[in-house]
Structures are given as structure tokens and as C-alpha cells.
Chain A
Amino acid sequence: MTEPTPVIEFRDIAKVYGTGAAEVRALDGISFGVNRGEFVAIMGPSGSGKSTAMNLIGCLDSPSSGQYLFDGVDVAGLNRDQRALIRRDYLGFVFQGFNLLARTPALENVELPLIYKGVPRAERRAQAMEALAKVGLDRWAGHDPSELSGGQQQRVAIARALVGDPEVILADEPTGNLDQTRSHEIMKVLKGLNDDGMTIVMVTHETDMAAYAARHILMVDGRIEHDGPPKPQEGAA
């Protein structure tokens, strides 16, 4: 039996900003793979390159060099619009700042990716309601983000990430703007999705949130320092 193709595979990926003396190597040739159904936490101090890595995984940016295989297909050289289509069809995003559209009901926020996919209105409604139900907010569908708590807003964002049935959910500091109780609530939602088979890659600097993930990638200075199960001494770091 052959190894399954990783859904995400970085091969010697580098990201360089600036040129000459001002050159900054945000990522200095990193390689790793993420298989279907994994829950990976990318950790590291600020400036370690974890956000850059996340932007590259999310196809929001393209690497300076290296190969990025998504489902076995190299997407490193794609142009803007091609990357947008990858994001639309295969990725779901959860951000630290929620990034919901203001003055737009939760349901319409969740529908947003489906609009760009061209899903017909009635079907869109149904899928969005289903996604909201998965995060326990179907009763709040008609409410604007301003009428929801931070935790609820982040759950709407998770529903939005979920709605297109993506291959991977990318969460960038999903609990960064939430208190301890809400943070654990959100992590339980993500963990639940992972238990149902969803692949999740999360960037965080909080060790107790990272503890929900079975695999930790620790980054320092644009390099991967550790990749594997959580290290026991991490809590002390």
C-alpha cells in the first residue's frame, strides 16, 4: 500500500522580502507535509515566519522559491486569480480578527464563498444554514456581527470557512481576540470538526490552545525547529 498523497506539501519553500542588504528571509527553505484528517498547530515566537507560512499555505501569497504541492499539484507558480480559485474551492479561513462583513447578517456572511462559487440562491441558503447549525448558531442566522459576542462571531467565521466543504481549514490565531473560556469553546468546535475528518492547520502562540492539536510544528527564524507530537517542555517555554 502506497503512502497517501499529503493534502499540503511544502518542498524547500523560501520567502524572501526585499533585496540586497535589506533582504529578509522570512522562510528559509522549509519542508513538511500535512495529511488528510490531521490537526496541525504551527507555533513560534513573533517573527519566526509562522504567519508567512500560513499566508503561503493559504495561497494568499506565493513563495520566492520551492514547490508547494496541494493535493499533489504544484501551486507555487499560480497567478493571483488561479490562487483565488484554489482558496475558493479547497480552503477555508478563520482569522484572529474574525473578519466578518459588518452590517451583514451572519447567514449572508456564511454565504459569501458560495456567491463567488456561483451556487444558486436557495441552495446557498440551505448550505449556509447547515454550516451555522454545525457551530450551533442557526438561531442567530439573521443577526449582524455587531449583535454577536466575540465567540459567536468566531463561530460564524468557522461556519463560513466550513460552508464550501473545503479540503483544509486554516486558522490564524483563532483565539487571539478571545478570553480563556471563549477560546476553549472555539477550540472545541475546531476539534469537533477535526474529529469528523476535517484537516485543520492552525497558527497560534498559546500552548494550551495548541494542545488541542495532535501535531506541532515549531518555527524559529524561518526554519522548522520541531515537527511532531507536542513536546513536554513546551509548556515551560
Chain B
Amino acid sequence: MIRETLLLAIQAIARNALRSVLTILGIVIGVAAVIALVTLGQGSSDEVTGELEKLGTNIVMVRPGAPGMGPQGPGTRMLGAEPFSLADVDAIQTDLPSIASAAPYETRGMTAILGSESITTQVVGTDNRYLDAVDWPVVLGRDFSTAEESGGQGVCIVGQTVREDLFDDADPVGQKIRLETLSCEVIGVLEEKGAGSFGMDQDSVVLIPMRTMQRRVLGDNDVGMIYVRVDPAFTTDEGIAEIEDLMRDRRRITGGEEDDFYAMDMAQITSMLTGITTVLTGLLSAVAAVSLVVGGIGIMNIMLVSVTERTREIGIRLAVGATAGQVMLQFLVEAVVLSAMGGVIGIILGLIVAALAAWQMAIPYSPDITVVIGAVVFSALVGVIFGYFPARRAARLDPIEALRHQ
């Protein structure tokens, strides 16, 4: 009986091929949008996770303020918190047994100029401990000398992109470039890191000594962030606990007072960033899901038309002994087959769109089988819900009236 009903539904749909296609368009678009968004969202989450894991799982970032969402995005709560100083960095490095190295970190987007060439790049104020903390070797030239670090001299180490953009194939070591008003001599070139998250170029970077950054660029003695590498003999949680104890002490935070700084390891940062992606994906998918409901109403509409058109057919079926339940099932199955077809086409379309977009944005293509199954189930459910009313109307027809219908 189920097989007969299915065949009957497919026949009825095929008979009105164009109408059927137009009817399921809403479902197709809705499902395709949800599938594409969720797949891309997953892809970008994977991308972020992969990038941050490359940095190393034992890296901890310490920042003033409070973690979580603030008024200007993540990490902007308690903006007024007192910044760190170089003394804080030194204390973390020397006082804590669990810490392998700690480096100050301050960054600004600036224009780098050489002769007539100029590029926009990321200028980072730090010191040699940063190269150690994030394991980023200098492949050409040398790193900072103690005198350059403590004296705040005009020297810099450039990333591969800066080197290629400003110097082409020429040897950059010993040349002088200008970072806006600051003139500095290139003393080294960093190893190539490759593309980062969302097309961000990690090699478009110029490292200058922290003191130079403070005195000649920012005009203060602040340290905005501290990069810490935890000694492999300790867990990152142990490292974070030690840092928190020390910093609470140094910043004179007592008892139940809230910290005005935070230390996060890569796992926490990853979950924060992917959390944002998840929320965004969820919101966009919710909007797309609305189009599924609209698609369902389209199916209901066309099924009602179909019931009216086929009143006589229903009358004949009732006369030869079909029960109300059998007639109802026939129209319900027809609606479900329609919407499930829309679902399947939508899934295929959504996966293709996601694959193209993922390729375009250079993020991983990560289709999720549970989402695909969910889309099939949901679209079939749309068919049941919106097919129910027309099917019930068909089942309740009076056979005598229905047979008289022209």
C-alpha cells in the first residue's frame, strides 16, 4: 500500500512537472541557504582552530581588561584597566618556574616606506623573547641586540611579505625603511609563515623593539599584551594559575575582587572565536529557515489547488472503497515527496555553493552529515505539517458531492 501510494504521488507530481518545480523552489532555496551557511560556518571554525593550533597549544596571552564580549567586540570589556609594563613581563619571565618565556606585544597598522614604494603593514613592538615564545626564527640577518632593545633604537625585523613588496629580490639587511615618521634599519628577515585566518597575511609584519614602539610610536610606557610560552613540564592551566597569582599580587588585587586582566590559552581563544562564528551561523541559518516556512506555505497552497482540481478523482476513489485515511495518506505522501524532493535538491545545491565559496575564501570545505540529515528530516516535516490541512480536506470530502463535481 505504501509503495502504491508513493508511486501515485510521484505520478501526480510528474504530471504537473512545471508546477511541482515552482512549488518546491521555496524549499530548495531555504535548504540550500541553511546548508551552505552551516557548511561555511563550520569551515571557518575549522580554519580558526587550525591556525591557532599552529601557534602551539602552550601559548598563553595575557591582557589587561576582562575576557568575553565588550562594547567594541571581543576583549574590549574593562577597557580602562591599567596596562602592563615591561617590569610585569620581566616578572612573569623570571619569577615563575612554569613559564619558559614571556614577551611584550603591542601592534599598530602603519605604512612602511622605501623610496617610492609604500605598503600598509602590521608593526609589532616586542623583543627577542617573542621569537622564542611563538617559535618564529630569523632566517636572514640577526635578531635584536640587548642595546637595541633597551635603548629603543631604530631597527626592525621584517616578514617575508614586507621583504618581497619593498625589496623584491634585493638583500634588505642593512637598508633603511621608514615607518611613517620612524626611520629604522632592517637587521633581519623572519621565516615565512603562510596565509592565516580569513586571508590575513601573517607575513605582512615588521617587528621593532618594544622600547622603540613605546617611545617613538605610542609615546607611553605601556605594554598592551604579553605573549607567554609555558614550560613543557607544566600544563597551561598551571602556567595560567601562576600568572594570575603573580599579576593579582603585582596589581594589588585582593580577596574577592575581580581580576582586571586575563590570561587565555589558545584553546580558550579558539573556543571564543569559533563561538562567535557559531552564533553568526546560527542567526543566519534562522533567517534562512524562515524561507523554509514560506516554502511550506507554497506547498500547502498548491496542495489545496490540487485537492480542488482532483475532487472528482477523490470521489471515484472513495466510491470504490478508499477509506478517509487512505485518501488522506495519498495527499500527505504527495506533499512530503514534494518537500523532500525540494530538500534533496536544496542540499545538493547548498553543498555546491558552499564548496565554491569555500574554495574562493580559501577555507576548508567541511560538509556535516548531521546537518544534511537534519535538512532532509526538516523538509519532510515541512511537507507533513503543511500537507496535513489539504490532505484532511481531501479526506473529508463527501463522495456523492465529489462525484458530482465537474
Give me the interface of A with B, judged by CB distance under 8 Å: 55, 58, 60-61, 80-81, 84-85, 87-89, 91, 93, 95, 97, 99-103, 112-113, 115-118, 160, 164
Contact = CB atoms under 8 A, between A and B. Distances in A.
A83 B295 CA distance: 38
B252 interface: no
A58 B321 CA distance: 11
Contact of B403 (A91, A99, A118): A99
Most buried by B among A87, A113, A116: A116
B392 interface: no
Contacts of A117: 321
Given A81-B325, A84-B324, A101-B313, A60 B4 contact: no
13 contacts: A84-B318, A84-B322, A84-B324, A85-B321, A88-B320, A91-B321, A93-B319, A95-B403, A99-B403, A100-B316, A103-B15, A116-B317, A118-B1
B399 A60 contact: yes
A17 to B, nearest CB: 12
B321 A116 contact: yes
Interface string B1-16: 1001000000000010
Contacts of A58: 319
B396 to A, nearest CB: 9
Contacts of A164: 321
Nearest to B4: A115
B319 A99 contact: yes
B22 interface: no
B296 interface: no
B400 interface: yes
B326 interface: yes
B18 to A, nearest CB: 16
Contacts of A61: 400
Nearest to B316: A99
B159 interface: no
Given A60-B400, A101-B313, A103-B15, A81 B321 contact: no
Contact of B324 (A80, A89, A93, A99): A80
B320 A112 contact: yes
A85 B320 CA distance: 9
A116 B323 CA distance: 8
A20 B322 CA distance: 35
Interface string B254-295: 000000000000000000000000000000000000000000
B315 A99 contact: yes
Contact of A116 (B312, B315, B326, B400): B326
B208 to A, nearest CB: 81
Given A88-B320, A117-B321, 14 more contacts: A58-B319, A61-B400, A81-B323, A81-B325, A88-B322, A95-B403, A99-B315, A99-B316, A99-B319, A100-B316, A115-B1, A115-B4, A116-B320, A160-B320
A85 B319 CA distance: 10
A99 B312 CA distance: 8
Nearest to B396: A80
Given A101-B313, A103-B15, A118-B1, A60 B321 contact: no
Interface string B317-341: 1111111111000000000000000
Nearest to A102: B313
B contact patch SS: helix
B313 to A, nearest CB: 6
A60 B402 CA distance: 11
6 smallest beta-carbon distances between A and B, as pairs: A88-B321, A113-B320, A87-B321, A81-B323, A84-B323, A116-B322
Contacts of B312: 99
A112 B317 CA distance: 8
Interface string B382-401: 00000000000000000110
Contacts of B399: 60
B324 A81 contact: yes
Contacts of A100: 316
B324 A87 contact: no
Contacts of B325: 81
A33 to B, nearest CB: 24
Nearest to A103: B15
A60 B319 contact: yes
Contact of B320 (A80, A93, A102): A93
A117 B322 CA distance: 9
Interface in B353-406: 399-400, 403
Central interface residue in A81, A85, A115, A160, by most chain B CB within 10 Å: A115
B84 to A, nearest CB: 80
A26 B89 CA distance: 103
Nearest to A91: B321
Contacts of B324: 80-81, 84
A71 to B, nearest CB: 16
Contacts of A89: 321
A27 B383 CA distance: 44
Nearest to A160: B320
Given A60-B400, A95-B403, A87 B323 contact: no
Contacts of A97: 403
Contacts of A88: 320-322
Among B4, B313, B315, B321, residue most surrounded by chain A Cβ atoms (within 10 Å): B321
Nearest to B322: A116
Contacts of B321: 84-85, 87-89, 91, 113, 116-117, 164
A58 B15 CA distance: 32
A224 B326 CA distance: 37
A117 B326 CA distance: 11
A101 B11 CA distance: 13
Give the one of A95, A97, A99 with max B CB within 10 A: A99
Nearest to A98: B316
A55 B323 contact: no
Report which residue of A89, A101, A118 has the largest number of chain B beta carbons within 10 angstroms of its beta carbon: A101
